[in-house]
Every structure is written in C-alpha cells, then in structure tokens.
Chain A
C-alpha cells in the first residue's frame, strides 16, 4: 500500500467510525467552495484557542474501537459540536518542537529538533500582531518544555523580536518558584521536561515569561501558584491551569496551548501513554467548558484541537509501535483536527486531505491577516 493509499485508509476508518457513532454528516453538504468566503467581513472580537493534542497519539489508542474508552470527552462532548477533519497530513519532520513550529508558521521547518532556535518563518503570532496591530498581551503560548522557549516568534527579518507571542513555560516557572524552598519533592511529577530524549535540557533563550513577571501578567503570586500546582497531577494540567489564568486575566485573542504528557510513550510504558491520552482528553473538555463560561470568550471563540503528529504503527518493523515516531510511516504522519466554535458547522466530517500547515492560513482567514509566507492553504470549511 502506498503512503497515499494508507493515509486514505486511515482517514476512511476514522470517518466510518465517526459516522457510525455520531451520525456526523459530510461537511461538503453544508459548506460552499472556498471562494464563497472570500471578501467576507471578518467580525471583530473573534478569538481562537489552539490546542495541540500532544505529543503524538495514535488512532489505535483514540478513535479506533480499542481506543475510544480513552477519549470520552472528545467523543461525547466535543465531537457533536465540531467539524472533524479525518485526514490531516504532516509531511514535515516528526520531532515535537520542529513539528509544532511548522504548525505555528505554516511552513515545514527543517531545523534541528533539539536546538534552541527560533522558527525560520514568521509565526502565526507575528502575522496576527503585525497585520492587525495587536498588543503583546493579545497572543500567548503555553508550552510544555524548555525546548519550546522560542516558539513565540521567528528569526525572520521582516518579523521577529518584539512582534511575537509571549511564551509561558509553566514548568520553568514552577521550578523557579521552588528554587528557594525545600519543598521541591512534592512537585517533581510536574517538572518532567522533554520526553523525546529524556536527558534533553536545552539552555533557555527566548521571550518566555520569568517568575518575577508572573505576578504582573497572571495576577498570581508565587505562593498561590505553587500552592495550586501541588494539587495538579501532571505538566499538562499545569499548562491548562496557566492557560485558564491567562484567559481570566488578559483574555488574549490568540491562545496556543501545547499539551505534551502523551509523549511519555518514549519511555516504553504503554499504561503511562494511555494515562496521558486520557488526561489530554479531559483537559480539552475542560478548556472548552472554560471558554463557554467566560464572557470574554463565549460565542466568539473557535477552538482547534489537533495532534502535532501520530506515532509509529505496530506493523512497521522499523519502529517499536507506540513508543516512538521515527519511521515516518503513514500512521505517524496522518492525524485529525477538531474545530469548534460559533461559526463552525456542528457534527460534520471532512474527509478531504489537508495538511497541518494549513492551520495558519486558516487562522489568517478567520482573523483577517495574511499568512503570506505560509505554504498552507485556508481550510474553507472553517475559515
């Protein structure tokens, strides 16, 4: 089977499952061609929350029959309200930082996944802020590990420093908050960093928020932050807690949350990988509920949920199944995207293939900026 055929087969199985369980309809029935949307006036005060369902979950443990028990919130709460894309292909490098950077820029970035570098191409945050003249407080990234410190703005000469998003690395904040206390052991479960190489700990260089700024930005004292963190179970819970704090205090119009607990799969422990998926599923539901309850967000926010990529299939002998994402096989490249919001058709399924680089131009169409250097195309069904 060719990669294209395999990709289509994966998409088909997702679609068939969704239609059998939810009765979801083909979105093409409800949407016209992309050209019909051009020229439309973009409403003001729109907001978008992007959640990368990360890092790297397979269909086997999510949308396939054995995996459905792991994603009850996606299936029963979010899916009926969403347009679901069954065939999102990532043709880039399957490392979490470089893949997320590719989604953020709409261009397949090619830098070393383990290097502390900025993306080469302008990020969605730079397009958003420069084109729409938005302040720095209107675009934020909550990122999982120190390696993502530079995800907020690019090295592009026309954009770059000062035009990107603020980056919050919650684990970095917590680590700093605990540096002067002897209480660190209680929080160790929240401080795990990158799983791709368990020993990866890059030096920090980026525009990430530091502890001293936290009180100002999040209206949150170090003590309150540390006290709340103690009640959380994982780094992703910490990330969502910070994201919700940002929503309450600053109400950014563009908020990007990168979840990462799932990537514990690299340790080879299937049960911990499943735990990560279940947690990610629950947190997506909580974020959507938070959006609905917050007057600044309700009825004006579109949420995009998508994995950065999948993981290796059990069948490819070059990999070791769920543990890694090294083979580049169709299963590790083919994922999905769920989009919810007031302007998005509910309970609809889109089968045509799109690419993960299409998200930035889609956000461009949604907000009214031009992602001029992105190689992706706006997704008409939700633009």
Chain B
C-alpha cells in the first residue's frame, strides 16, 4: 500500500482564507479536504498518511525557511509519494506546490506530482524540473485532476515508463526523447504539410519556442553623429582563440580591437565557428566584419565613428538561454562603449 503525503495551502487545508495565508506549516494525520477525494481515487492502492498545510504567503515570503520546515515534516512520515495541490490557477499556491515537489524530489528522492492550470506562473517556473498535470482553472476540475494525478503518481512510484506529455497530460518538460519511426522523415514531413494545407489538425515533431518578441529600436537619426559597432555570431577571434570561445554550443563572447586601415587582418584573426565553411572569412575577415568599408565611411564623415571594439560569439547549436545571456552582456558593453547602433552579422 503506497504511503502518500499530501500538501495543501491554508484554504484547501480548511484553516481559512487570505487572512490565514501567513500560517507556518503544520501536519495533520490522514486526509483533509481534497485529500478525501484523493483517498477515494487511490481505490485501495494507497493511503494518505498525512496532510501538510502551509499558508501561501508564509511559503512564498520565506521560501527557504518554509521549505526546510516542510521537508522535515514530510521526512518524518517517510512517504513513498508526495502529491501537492492541485493549485489550479492560484499563483502563490502553484509556486508553493512547485517548489515543494522540486525540493522533495531532489532532496528526499521521492516521486512528486502536482497539478496546475496552464496560466499558473508555477507552470513556467517548475515544468522543466517536475511533473505538473494540466488542470482546469478552478476547483470544478478537482476530481478529474486528482484522478489523473493519482494514476500518474502510481506509475512514477512503480518506475513504469512515462509517456509523452500529450499521452500523460503533464506540461512539456523540454525533454527530447529519441524514438524509432516506421516511416521516413520525408514521408512524415509531407503528411504534416498535406494536413496543414487541407486544414486538418496535425502536430509538429519539432516545436519552436514562441513568445519571443522584442520592440523594434527607434531609427537612428543622424548617421554622421553615430558610433556604429560590429557584433557577430560568426566566431571570429584573434588567432589562437585566446578566450577559448567554443565553436559550438557556445557560452562565451569576446571583445576584440578592430583591425586598422593599415596592415592586413589576414592571419591575425581566425574563424572558429563550427557551423559553416570558414575558409572565405579566414582569407579575408572583412567578408564577415566590413571593417575596411566602415573605416572609409568614418574617414569621409558618413558615420562619426566605428567602435574600436567588435564582439564575437558562436551561434552554432547555442542554447537560447545562453544566447539571451550573451546578448544582454554584450549590450551592457556596447552601452559602455558609447555605441549608438549595431550591425549584427549572422552566418
């Protein structure tokens, strides 16, 4: 018989509403509130041995302290599975459920499961580290959610293989799994295209992350008064790659002095990008960064100045989060340099 501990907030734990949101964690034997539905859905396969109740404000305002207290309580009951919530669309409750699951799983090695509505902020924060079953936005979905959570929890505790997010009803964790297909990729691609053209529902095999959109910068007014800088993901570095910028899955960038009008850059720089044929750029780095032309433009007053430094990283299998961070850091430097506009050269 599976030993289960259930985590609830002050509201579902039947202590009170917002006025009780600052209560510290406490533990009661057996199920409480939704725990009775949980017990029913277990259908004799497990037992809710204890319920932990913590105020949402208490948890979110003192997260480190609260989680330590909750962990101690959970540990004292030696459960085999932890179920938290479901939190539906309640933000603080969602974050509490997410953090409890993450830490219990990590520190006590116990399978954990929670449930949330897709817009709960806890989903974005925790979906990659824990399993979160998708629920409706309100308590109308209580029985259905708990039923799904129970079946999933049993599967987890028995170490059975877990299916895809679509099959199991949990939020995508960003895990990619290799599978063998009976049909060639080209055939599958044509199927998807045909479905799309005929308006039939289809699902992609490679989904792009969405929701990234930046505001266009205002146009630059007077070029003759502007400092222009060059930035590239093309992996151009001084010969020997002193900063050891990675040629793929890059995590770094370099800030290097531009080459001058006099003297040739050839042989002084090299391209370490692992995603294109770098021989043309190595023959003449101006083919990547048009420094020769921009220096001419600086000389004839078309632009005020070419920034004396260029920035370089490698956009080759680079993780989006790394790219975002690198972008932010380069931007900080560009501002320090007094640069007004950038030509970002992509390969």
Asked whether A and B interact, the reply is no
Task: Using CB atoms and an 8 Å cutoff, list the residues of chain A in contact with chain B.
Answer: none
Task: Using CB atoms and an 8 Å cutoff, list the residues of chain B in contact with chain A.
Answer: none
